Amino acid sequence: MSKPAILVARAVAPEAIDRLRPHFELETNPDDAIWSREELIAKLQGKVGAFTSGGERIDAALLAQCPELKICANMSVGYNNFDIDAMTAAGVQATNAPDVLTETTADMAFTLLMATARRVSEAEAYLRAGLWKKMSFDMLLGSDIHGATLGILGMGRIGQAIARRGAHGFGMNVIYHNRSQLDAATEATVKARYVSKQDLFKQADHVVLVVPYSPASHHTVAAAEIALMKPTATIVNIGRGGLIDEDALAAALAANKILGAGLDVFEGEPKINPGLLALKNVVLTPHIGSASGPTRKAMATLAADNLIGYLINGKAVTPLNSPKPR
Ligand code: DGY
């Protein structure tokens, strides 16, 4: 009997391919080409499963053209590329890759926070340009991290891992805002205090965004929120680019209304808002929040296990919906 056919939409860790191969006929993308939507739909013909990266839009229109598709397994915790309602209605299982990237992504939030607060990119550019001629008392002054107030917007698993680092590692006063308040025991463990969104922006010395992106959280940080921030404050985004109004942020940074921003995600990525590129007081990284070798391998392995779990053993490992199978 022939094996079920799977599409692996992007190049992934070889361990994931090795895991899938005994169970499925695979069409892979070793060159890591970015397929158009039409190409993706053409390649999905005859496939029962798709290993997706988080960049492929899976919606009702695509599903209508891919009648054999039963599951899409994202190799990312974020799943804003999935229309979950459409997938459920079409009988298609959606899965993501949570937990395995929590600590690595929290590390990256702190990397950006520290680089931004201490102006590391700007300092390195200054040195490399040969501008450093002498020590001076006010050269490249930044903001402190230890003992400062850390404001976390979005307090899921990654937010909590960032809070632990801030409170326990740097003696920070951690405040957070979330759709729902954590229970008292979890708040005590991560040493974080719930505040309103407005108070978070007013009080925080460093703001970190880890809100899941959806139409409801689009531009959750815009000119009004930035205007509440202290002139010495920084903001880091490791969620999704669409959480921030980038034009408003660039304008505030250009006018030195806040100290700086650290951005790993962008609204039109991989295109970057030219207003941001022109600035010194922003640290820019290309969506590498989860990019450590072991974590990327674990994310790919989990996506593979979701495909095997659902299509071979009848149960996904980390399901996002409960569809009536096609
Ligand atoms: C995620 O898993 O959502 C990260 O942003 C990597 O895409």
The tokens describing 77, both together, are 């915790």
Q: Are 229 and 258 in contact (CB under 8 A)?
A: yes
Position 326 in a domain: no
Percent of the chain past pLDDT 90, that is, above it, reads 99
Kindly state whether residues 89 and 173 are assigned to the same domain.
Answer: no
User: Taking residues 102-124, what's their average pLDDT?
Assistant: 98
The answer to whether the CB of 289 is under 6 A from ligand 1 is yes
Place 326 in a pLDDT band, splitting at 50, 70 and 90: confident
CA dihedral 206, 210, 215, 216 (to 10 degrees): -70
Nearest CA to 300 among 4, 2, 20? 20
Exposure string over 66-94, b if 16+ CB within 10 A, otherwise e: beebbbbbbbbbbbbbbbbebbbebebbb
Same domain, 120 and 249: yes
Contacts of 132 (CB under 8 A, 6+ apart): 126
Q: Kindly state whether residues 79 and 109 are assigned to the same domain.
A: no
Cβ(300)–Cβ(12) below 8 Å: yes
Q: Give the domain range for residue 159.
A: 102-284
Q: Which 8-state DSSP code applies to residue 319?
A: B
* CATH code assigned at 272: 3.40.50.720
Nearest to 97 by CA among 83, 80, 81, 76: 76
Contact 65, 41 (CB under 8 A): yes
Assess contact for 151 and 201: CB atoms under 8 A.
yes
Each residue's pLDDT tens digit, 80-97: 999 999 999 999 999 999
Is there an atom of ligand 1 within 6 Å of 241 CB? no
For residues 317-324, give the mean pLDDT.
Answer: 97
Looking at the fold, whether 24 and 172 belong to one and the same domain comes out as: no
Give the DSSP per-residue string, 254-300.
HTTSSSEEEES--TTTTS--HHHHT-SSEEE--S-TT-SHHHHHHHH
- Looking at the structure, do residues 274 and 297 belong to the same domain, yes or no? no
Q: Is residue 172 part of a domain?
A: yes
pLDDT value at 1 more than 80 = no
Length of the chain equals: 326
pLDDT at residue 25, rounded to an integer = 98
Mutate to test the pocket of ligand 1, among 105, 288, 302 (most ligand atoms within 8 A of CB): 105
Residues acting as catalytic residues: 240, 269, 287
What's the mean pLDDT when you consider all of the chain? 97
DSSP string, 98-128: -STTHHHHHHHHHHHHHHHHTTHHHHHHHHH
**118 shares a domain with 203:** yes
Q: How far is the CA of 88 from the centre of ligand 1 (A)?
A: 22
Number of domains into which the chain is organized? 2
Q: Mean pLDDT over residues 166-187, rounded?
A: 97
C-alpha atoms less than 13 angstroms from C-alpha of 87 in its C-beta half-sphere: 23
Is the domain of 87 the same as that of 135?
no
Same domain as 150, residue 95: no
What is the percent of the chain where pLDDT is above 70?
100
DSSP per residue over 157-178, as a string? HHHHHHHHIIIIIH--EEEEE-
Q: How, if at all, do strands 192-194 and 206-209 pair?
A: unpaired
Distance 253 CA to ligand 1 centre (A): 26
Q: Which atom of ligand 1 is nearest to the CA of 96?
A: 2
Judge whether 188 lies within some domain. yes
Q: What integer is the mean pLDDT of 189-213?
A: 97
CB atoms within 10 A of CB 31: 7
The residue written with tokens 């997706």 in the block is 52
Residue 82 lies in a domain: yes
Cβ–ligand 1 contact at 76 (below 6 Å):
yes
Chain-centre distance of CA 108, in angstroms?
10
